Amino acid sequence: MLQCLANGVLISGLYAVVTLGLTMVMGVMGIVNFAHGEFVMLGAYVTYWAFTLWGIDPILSLPLSAGVLILVGISIYRFGIKPILSAEAFEQVLLTFGISIILQNAALILWKADFRSISTPYSDMSIAIGPINIGLARLLTFGIAVMLTLLLVVFNKTKVGKALRAVSQNRKAAALMGINVDKAYIIAFSIAAALGGIAGTLSALIMYVFPLMGGKLGLKAFAILILGGLGNIWGTLIASLILGISESIVGTYLPQGSGWAEGLSFALILTVLIFKPTGIAGVRRE
């Protein structure tokens, strides 16, 4: 049981990083970005090719994947998101969903549907803590996820972070106070894209890299977003733990558990929407 809990906690770190990008965009801009999973996929491919072509260790490629995804994020914001900021929510959903499909198909054309993986000297190493064995790659992933979360909490207390929070609470009032709302949106979307790229790097350490991987992780992120409360960081962290541990328990103790665990996100979304649509944090965006 302890091993099962440890596995759930470790994978929850990756889930939290994937979801924090969604949370940032939802919290500041009020947009549900269905293309965020594809940001993760692109980050994973940046890491894979950096390792395959130039031998760059995945950990060292974190700034590279974050930088590439910031450029991608700024481009998508300028030419896709910005023109529909005042549009109906349905139109925003359609746009981000369309971007997701375009990025998926571009990846399929460029890199085919092959499953690729990264094998580093520490990929098969593990650390024994009492009765628990922890894979070094998973431990590194979890440690980086914790550091990123702490950095994000600290960032929220900076001048820029406070400006983003002001925009998230009331766009018009923030503009009247002299805050450049468009600049705040670019910063929020860039940070979210960078988090997606970093999440892709962390995913490439412990998962296969393939064009549709973003859809799988994106679904889990949406389940966490809904459970945690839309746009709430602390709710996101708690919900990530709940999903990670739940998947680990289901995968370990139920017959054919790995298949059931993959469907847990759908069950979680339905349960929360029926019984507590405001999520853990009690936050609901219109």
Q: Is 163 exposed, middle or buried (0-12, 13-18, 19+ CB in 10 A)?
A: buried
**Helix residue spans in the chain (DSSP H):** 2-29, 36-54, 62-76, 89-111, 136-155, 159-169, 171-176, 181-206, 213-228, 233-253, 257-262, 264-275
Least confident of 56-65, 164-173, 227-236: 227-236
Residue 165: per-residue pLDDT: 81
Residue 230: per-residue pLDDT: 67
Residue 245: per-residue pLDDT: 83
Q: Which two tokens stand for residue 149?
A: 């979360």
Listed in sequence order, the residues at least 6 apart from 157 whose beta carbon sits closer than 8 Å to its beta carbon are: none
The percent of residues above 90 in pLDDT, for the chain, comes to 19
Residue 231: per-residue pLDDT: 63
Contact 45, 173 (CB under 8 A): no
**Where do we find the tokens 């549900």?**
32
121-166, pLDDT tens digit by residue? 877 777 887 778 878 888 888 888 888 888 877 887 888 888 888 8
Instruction: Read off the pTM.
Output: 0.86
Rounded CA-CA distance 155/167 in Å is 15
Query: DSSP 3-state assignment of 135?
Result: strand
Contact 181, 191 (CB under 8 A): no
Residue 65: per-residue pLDDT: 92
Rounded CA-CA distance 269/227 in Å is 7
Q: What is the rounded average pLDDT for all residues in the chain? A: 83
84-117, pLDDT tens digit by residue? 877 787 888 888 889 999 999 999 999 888 899 8
Using the predicted structure, report yes or no on whether residue 279 has a pLDDT greater than 80: no
16-39, pLDDT tens digit by residue? 888 888 888 887 888 888 888 899
**Phi and psi at residue 63, to the nearest 5°:** -65, -35
